[in-house]
Structure 1
Amino acid sequence: PGEPLQTEAFGIVFLTAGLALWLEVSFLIAGMTAGAVIANLARHHEYAFNEIERIELPFMVLFFLLAGASLELEALWSLGWITLAYVGLRIAARLVSGELGARLGRVPQVEIRLYGPSLLPQAGVAVGMALVAAETFPQWEATFISLTIAATVVFEVIGPPATMAAIHRVARSAPTR
């Protein structure tokens, strides 16, 4: 088979969006499902993803720009301790689940505590889910969006460095071959 063109990649995106509209399902879930199907069933799925990755930057910038424009600081401040509790509990859940998963997966002892911090980054899917929740519960829109965007900012500031630190610690502890 020939290499897919950007037209085919756009076709997949528009087909998925059209099906989501027609079936009245979430765009987010439809997109994630389409990606999973392509990744697991298509023989040359890397090409389609590579084509989309080449053109995704303006769409990502627009998505996060619009999400940031939806942030209502007044709603965020009114949440106060709930925001702190959400961020704190999410960190605790990631650390505990990372360690539990590592133990269940029988990874080397030196790596067990490094899995949790590598799970901290959060970005588009969380914001997308908040948008879906806001659509379903419009009276809570400002709360959902503000809390999720604030948490995303926090986790995108601390997450990547935590992940890189975990990767470097694993690399240092790995035996040289």
Structure 2
Amino acid sequence: MTAPTSGRDDATLRGAVVLVVAIVIGLALLWRSGDGGSTEASDTTTAATSTELDGSQPADPTQSTLAPIDTGGPPPTESSEPAGPDDTRAPEAVTAIVLNGSEVIGAAADNDGQLKAAGYTTIAAANANADLPVTTIYAGPEFQADAEAVRGVLGLPDAVIADKPEEPLGDGAEMADIVVVLGGDIGGG
């Protein structure tokens, strides 16, 4: 008489299913890491996964506790290159304000409308605390690539991109990631 094998067959089937699922997840991770997309989506996925597993929030969602996957290629390198156009966030993830530092009436509202049409989150246009001779786009270091994208959307190729100062630039500017201060170079003054 032979021993029943259904228990062993069930274990083999479960093992095969776990192996297939692991391979699919591994391939999906490799595909995502090679797509050149933004890190925001993967950070959100890591944070959501951590929360689902143990109910806690990670201290820093940009720091993953997952071990790197060895793809057999060369090791990753740190880039000292300045942020490029691929490092921009989705427009709706960037808050911008346009301040009028020129004598052109309605210029800030017109440019605010262009940013809204491009999908940016905007704070109501206002006047700048001081007039500027040259249009300047202020942003923190992490938003420099986004500031360049805003310069392109507004069609202001000569606008200066500068670090956002501590002092207030105008009403609402402290709440914005990017502050566009239109200067006298836009015409009319």
Bigger CA radius of gyration: 2
Taking structure 1 as the reference length, what is the TM-score of the superposition?
Answer: 0.27
Q: Which has the higher strand share?
A: 2
